[in-house]
Amino acid sequence: MLYNHPKFIESDPIQIPHKFSKKEDIEIAAFLSATIAWGNRKSIIKNANKMVELLDHSPFEFITQHEDTDLERLEPFVHRTFNGNDFMQFVKSLKYIYEKHNGLEAVFSMHAEKDSLQNSIHHFKKVFFEIPHLERTQKHVSDPLKNSAAKRINMFLRWMVRNDNNGVDFGIWQSLSPSQLSCPLDVHSGNVARKLGLLTRKQNDGKALAELDKALRKLDVSDPVKYDFALFGLGVFEGF
């Protein structure tokens, strides 16, 4: 496994949650880092670090204990189209999830299916926006039932669920299994998957994800997304 290796962390947003040891801090830092994981990798890492800094390097404590006035400092934050108002909304929604729904793991586990978490992601989005929210922020949480490949949330779920014993993925969510995960499908992994004959669909959407899922489950039903490292690594680092 050339890319499923601790050195992979140095150039990947997964390094942000690796700064923490408490489960809730890890999952919140991971969720926020994954949310802004599009565009230039250096700027993703820089801005994900900035997010954690704005939460006083204690994401769980800030999210559950903050007063409304504490949120003002988040206002200048911006990463691509994700701005300070979106960040504030995310903090409020996360607080709601920990206070009323027993945390992120509980919400994602609720609608899990035997070999898919796509329905879970759909229901997670519903719960996330159950409280009063800005309409614009909804676009930052994908919905697979609207044919989205939900790349960033699938990546977040891989980090939380898969224990690779290699110090990359965390595997701290015991209620879900790696067999339920889907590959974070993006431009790089999509192109490599097509070249390898694992994917025929041209768009990187929900239908393509279902097709890739099927192909990867034939290769390894218990840990289909272990191939994500190779697909992504060949695309980004090798220009395959």
Structure tokens given for 229: 């490292």
Residue 185 backbone phi and psi in degrees, to 5: -90, 120
Structure tokens given for 156: 């977040």
Per-residue CA distances from 125 to 93, 117, 137, 158, 214 (Å): 10, 13, 11, 18, 24
With a cut of 70, say whether residue 235 has pLDDT above it: no
The pLDDT score that the predictor gives to residue 236 is: 61
Predicted TM-score (pTM) of this structure: 0.94
Between helices 84-100 and 118-128, what is the axis angle to 10°?
100
What is the pLDDT averaged over residues 19-37? 98
What are 71-81's pLDDT values in tens digits? Answer: 999 999 999 99
Q: How many residues does this entry show for the chain? A: 240
